[in-house]
Amino acid sequence: MNKRARTALTAGIIAAAWGLTALAARADETCLSPYTAALIKGQEAYLHVWTLGEKGLGDESDKLVTIGADPKSASYGKVISSVSVGGRGEAHHMGFTDDRKYLWAGRLDDSKIFVFDVGIGPAHPKLINTITDLPEKTGYIGPHTFYAIPGRMVIGTLSNNKTRDGVTGLAVYSNKGEFLSAHPIPAENGGDGYGYDIAINPKKNVFLTSSFTGWNNYMMDLGKLIQDAEAMKHFGNSMVLWNLKSMQPEKIFSVPGAPLEIRWSLKEGDDWAITASALTSKLWLVSHGANNEWQAKEVGTIGDPAKIPLPVDISISADAKTLWVNTFMDGTTHLFDISDPTKPVQIYEKVTGKQVNMISQSWDGKRVYITSSLLANWDKKGADNEQVLRAYDWDGKDLNLKFEVDFIKEKLGRPHHMKFSGPTEKASLDIPGRAASR
């Protein structure tokens, strides 16, 4: 069939459609894998919070807490459900599968990965699988980042089961939870082998990884760690540009001071990503210049680096014009204008807690959520050990507190990573009578 006929056939198929609207655009929330389906462009209905259990608090177990996020709902700002997974293993990050029906949640200490069904009833997630073979299959421990690709999950890890330092790699699992392959992060030719975040740009056949530290450090008391000069040498100082198709490293960038979360610009035509280095308190831009060479460049400063504010999570707006940055030590939420990503400018800041870590924004940027916990042994002590989720509205000038959930008062634990779910609106095709009616 020639091209004209083929085009005509395709046209005919479309003409045959019964005046139906297309499925909503399948894009990406601001910090999700670009392969993630069912973007929530409107009001999120639920907020899932992966929470570290705390000894002497409630059932003491790590748990997935789900909170109502729709102001029109009676459950707004309230804990709707809590699914305890048993034990405490340093609950940390989560990631949706590509179809957004399942949420994978990892623990950095015992390397267990919990898979929750959030597709059928997001208000009440169900634990359906626990994956325990990551160390055995790969030698890596500390599953951190869960990044969906079609039918699979790429897992960025933090450490290894031999030296427990930061030398580690990536693991690929099928959505069914079966191990597929392991990919070491380069430790030579300028690489340190350390890992942290993953961020894919499918249009450019590339992905980036960043680097944090190993089990020896992230499980150590922060006060003790800072005093340990030798331990402080063991933080990542690199980012790696990978060939997505071959899963092979292509270029290593020197990025001192533990570059953490990586966010690609979602603006059509942009080909740059931004990250923040935790120890040096800098913003770094990864882009390709006029010579078509990918490069990493320091482009900005967050707070006063001499005071080690410790930038942790960042969140980019859908239009790539602004970037939220949380600094843990001073409990401050910063907003940068990154409309020129080579020259970020801070345009707003507010103290949002005694310690703040993760930050997530809605697609329209009107709602911003923060949580308090960094790592169980790195959180502040005593009265400064505030453990909260705070929900704000952003009116373009100020963050206005809408609700707050005190995770200590609720006997839940330490809130860390957040993900959104929408309401369930779709019906299964298993409709009795449909087949019979035809």
Partner 1 sequence: MRERARLLGALCTGFIALAGLVEASLPVAAQTGAGLALPAPGSYRLDHIQRVPFGIVLEGNRFPHTLSRYTAGAITLLTFFYSYCADPNGCPLAWEAFEQARERIIGRPDLRGKVRLVFLSLDPAHDTPDVLKNFARHYEPDAAIVPWHFLTTYSYLFLNPVLRDMGEEISIDQQASSTGGLVVNHLLKVFLIDKQGWVREIYSNQSLDPAAILGDIETLSLEAGKVDHH
- Residues at the interface with partner 1 (CB under 8 A): 1, 4-23, 25-26, 34-35, 37, 98-99, 101, 119, 149-152, 172, 174-176, 178, 180-181, 201-206, 241, 243-248, 250, 271, 288, 292, 425-431, 434-435, 437-438
Q: How far apart are alpha carbons 92 and 108 in whole angstroms? A: 7
Give me the least distance between CB of 244 and partner 1, in Å please.
7
Q: How far apart are alpha carbons 137 and 121 in whole angstroms? A: 32
Residue with Cβ nearer partner 1 (33 or 51): 33
Residue with Cβ nearer partner 1 (189 or 229): 189
Q: How far apart are alpha carbons 134 and 179 in whole angstroms? A: 8
Give me the least distance between CB of 174 and partner 1, in Å please.
5
CA 187 to chain centre: 24
Give me the least distance between CB of 1 and partner 1, in Å please.
5
Residue with Cβ nearer partner 1 (41 or 288): 288
- Considering only CA atoms, which of 137, 244, 234, 226 is closest in space to residue 193? 234
Residue with Cβ nearer partner 1 (288 or 354): 288
Residue with Cβ nearer partner 1 (56 or 433): 433
Residue with Cβ nearer partner 1 (61 or 97): 97
- Considering only CA atoms, which of 259, 252, 301, 303 is closest in space to residue 279? 259
Give me the least distance between CB of 283 and partner 1, in Å please.
23
Q: Does the CA dihedral 388-275-100-54 come out positive or negative?
A: negative
Q: How far apart are alpha carbons 311 and 329 in whole angstroms? A: 8
DSSP bridge partners of 90: none
Give me the least distance between CB of 164 and partner 1, in Å please.
28
Q: How far apart are alpha carbons 155 and 137 in whole angstroms? A: 13
Structure tokens at 104: 């994978």
Give me the least distance between CB of 252 and partner 1, in Å please.
14
Give me the least distance between CB of 271 and partner 1, in Å please.
6
Residue with Cβ nearer partner 1 (20 or 229): 20
Structure tokens at 208: 């980036």
DSSP bridge partners of 335: 324, 348
